[in-house]
Structure 1
């Protein structure tokens, strides 16, 4: 479709031209049949276990803050996974059961605060138990039972429980080891315990939370064949692209680095499906850079390239949940750890949850994915925008400096709604604009986040930017059959 001057002017309010060259791209979607499905809980968040000990005081996170609650509710429904390396040092300390070093104590008061928060914001809690509570070489469930009993007595709901975090690197993290086969047996015994405990008949057993399926493929496989396959309701592994201490700004828009995720996920799926072909697989903890993120980058606008691409790849490849490290703390949080202000990836995640529906389609662009990266779903039915069944949501990343015009030849003449995100002051900006308008809370509430309607049938956007495009009148039959997938994560 030919791009006219008027078409360029229509969207000029949110285009920042960074290059004189304009790349024209046509996009086509294979709408006959979906390649996979996601659900409302596909995108979740994490908090690190290191926030829980009484000595930490949540490292500044105020669970009673109205701002924090408003931002959390903006992501609901949502899994919250609390886990991490520190979880394998934690001891639950019921009142009157003695004392534990405050650096490793999970108190009743802290547990109450967590559960009140998730209830208030409509989140579902997943918690990582300490697998290094061991006796005669086996996991000792005594302390876990105390937590489960207390939790049940208080009437709290647990969506899922993990047992240990990144077990294949225990030697480096905790100066001990647990073999894959023993861990598989521990999980199997844990599953039997959980299913026999009133109130936990449906609580998910989640694991093994591998740090790297690529480096530790054998450990992963041995865990599953030793009993883990019969224990886990959700199979998890973790993923980060690079080390936050050595990351460069260019890494975040590097297509070859983005492409590494495909082979990584495929490795995990290959191992998991040998024993558990029907068990949902999750990225149980994931972000751009490990070691706490990259200062001044992984919590800025530029981090959205890796985040949005990860969501697209994971959904297309059939993963059922992606849990973002993290909601708060580190250099990769969704909210600022000083002000609790929403950071760029927070707004990106809210838009994803509002716009992106269940069915995932294959998509082809007329240029390679180093110029444009494209993903397509049915549009999510919601009261936010009122899109009718049959509409589609596309999301795009433009990792180069080239201004790009996108056309949709299979939907000729269709108006499109554009939700395009650009930085306020460069790729390392903490502030982001939607269609040219600065995003911020309005009267302590989330703004409506309206689209800009373009009637020309094409959209032009600046290089090194990303966003969502909805075609309300696409009339895709597969999007009328599925309003939302019944498969839960």
Structure 2
């Protein structure tokens, strides 16, 4: 069992632990003279059972939204700055989907007139072979798995109501083009938050959607007969309207026909400028974790559990995230780091972040209020990008269960072991993410017996918590890519070695631990 010693003290304290200082387990006040500050030591333990779960190497992945108001039709996916940024986050899965996905038709060579049928929905979009190839080439250039969300055609579904049945003919046009082009694709989804369809919930039942997935599987088998290279099927990407009974109906009806590679659900916890560092905000996903995995374990136990589309808050109809928006600022890094840690510890194999770019909640920012990107345009890096970047380099796939003994909700600790997935990984025996939510209190953490803690503290930049800049160990990180060579592959700031690691207020700390006896299951 590994024990950490964690100390918390007010920023006015003179007794903050420095490098090389040993904590005082008695909890007595430190300092001298009139200093009345008091260090509160918190016991943190890694359970003796050792590894409790193992995530995919592409655990921290991202989405590309297909909606007009996320700029899909105005983004040049060959932009070298964009490619360089996305490559820095490999290995990942590029999931193409989102609300606009179900309003797309595919104008492929086998059916060039499909988009001439006429649609009066403002969301309608026509995806031609050029659009497809550019998106496909982004996945290839960035070495990501490509997970493509097939359109459910919600325009027709909305018109036909309860009598609607998905028609696979246009999806077959798309798959024929993939085969004819000798392209490979990792997987397919079908529909986005179909259970939300209709003003008061879905007019498509879970059983209806299960029938559509059976047809999708038959179509995939037709075009990809080799089982060894056949794309995976993932879904159903359920949303917020009565998801539990709908998902039970979907999985219950589907399970006798096929098993999904992964089951997906979407959550936006509503992080904004008023609640970004409240423990209660970050704990909102406990309800989701409480009901979602047990349903999958019961009805489709061979499937992985994925967070299929998760962002700090919904982007809204214009992608700006609404009132009190914290999207694109340092503030959401606290949520993102905690979300990755908590879901991994709760048995989620993969996390698809909404999204890479398009809308203010993206890991990257682009022109015209995040709705357009030219071939040579600059690309902004939002602070959350660096959470994904560091996770890939410090955190292994093997998850350990960490317990904070006195339930200090403002300090969150997550521990992983094993080899981090990035080719530019930091070699270590144990990787920690330690988040300090307090905006007034600095804390410290030590690992008794460790020879060294090498760490990187991510803190607000010079424009503050609600600004777009971020510091790493006091050094301002890149926030605008003007040339692709600016994007680092290795961690851009040297790690600092200490025996006791300081946790600044509102900070996310990635710590590599060396020289300890590892828990069971951590050995390669």
**Structure 1 residues 176 and 460, CA, compared in 2 at 3 Å: closer, same or farther?**
closer
Number of the residue aligned with 1:39: 56
Q: How many Å apart are 1:187 and its aligned residue?
A: 0.9
- Output the CA distance in 2 between the equivalents of 1:89 and 1:472: 51
SS of structure 2 residue aligned to 1:341: strand
CA contact (8 A) 1:23 1:405 kept: no
Number of the residue aligned with 1:435: 473
**Structure 1 residues 427 and 367, CA, compared in 2 at 3 Å: closer, same or farther?**
farther
TM norm structure 2: 0.81
Number of the residue aligned with 2:245: 218
Q: Deviations over 1:188-238 (max 9, x none)?
A: 22212212323674211111110038x321111011111256252211110
Tell me, which stretches of 5 or more residues in structure 1 are unaligned? Answer: 12-19, 483-489
SS of structure 1 residue aligned to 2:330: coil
CA contact (8 A) 1:362 1:376 kept: yes
**Structure 1 residues 119 and 268, CA, compared in 2 at 3 Å: closer, same or farther?**
same
**Structure 1 residues 22 and 152, CA, compared in 2 at 3 Å: closer, same or farther?**
farther
Corresponding position: 1:414 with 2:451: yes
**Residue number among 123, 130, 137 corresponding to 1:109 in the alignment:** 130
SS of structure 1 residue aligned to 2:197: helix
Q: How many Å apart are 1:452 and its aligned residue?
A: 2.8
Corresponding position: 1:467 with 2:481: no
Corresponding position: 1:266 with 2:290: yes
* CA root-mean-square deviation: 2.8
Number of the residue aligned with 1:61: 75
CA contact (8 A) 1:21 1:403 kept: no
**Residue number among 222, 237, 242 corresponding to 2:265 in the alignment:** 237
- Output the CA distance in 1 between the equivalents of 2:72 and 2:212: 30
**Structure 1 residues 468 and 379, CA, compared in 2 at 3 Å: closer, same or farther?**
farther
Corresponding position: 1:8 with 2:35: no
**Residue number among 79, 97, 115 corresponding to 2:112 in the alignment:** 97
Corresponding position: 1:289 with 2:313: yes
- Output the CA distance in 1 between the equivalents of 2:495 and 2:326: 28
**Structure 1 residues 458 and 238, CA, compared in 2 at 3 Å: closer, same or farther?**
same
TM norm structure 1: 0.86
Number of the residue aligned with 2:496: 453
CA contact (8 A) 1:28 1:363 kept: yes
- Output the CA distance in 2 between the equivalents of 1:200 and 1:93: 26
How many aligned residue pairs are there?
461
Number of the residue aligned with 1:374: 413
> Where do residues 77-88 of structure 1 align in structure 2 (5 Å cutoff)?
77-88=91-102
**Structure 1 residues 59 and 412, CA, compared in 2 at 3 Å: closer, same or farther?**
same
Tell me, which stretches of 5 or more residues in structure 2 are unaligned? Answer: 8-13, 22-36, 368-377
- Output the CA distance in 2 between the equivalents of 1:283 and 1:394: 21
Q: How many Å apart are 1:57 and its aligned residue?
A: 6.8
SS of structure 2 residue aligned to 1:345: helix
**Structure 1 residues 166 and 472, CA, compared in 2 at 3 Å: closer, same or farther?**
same
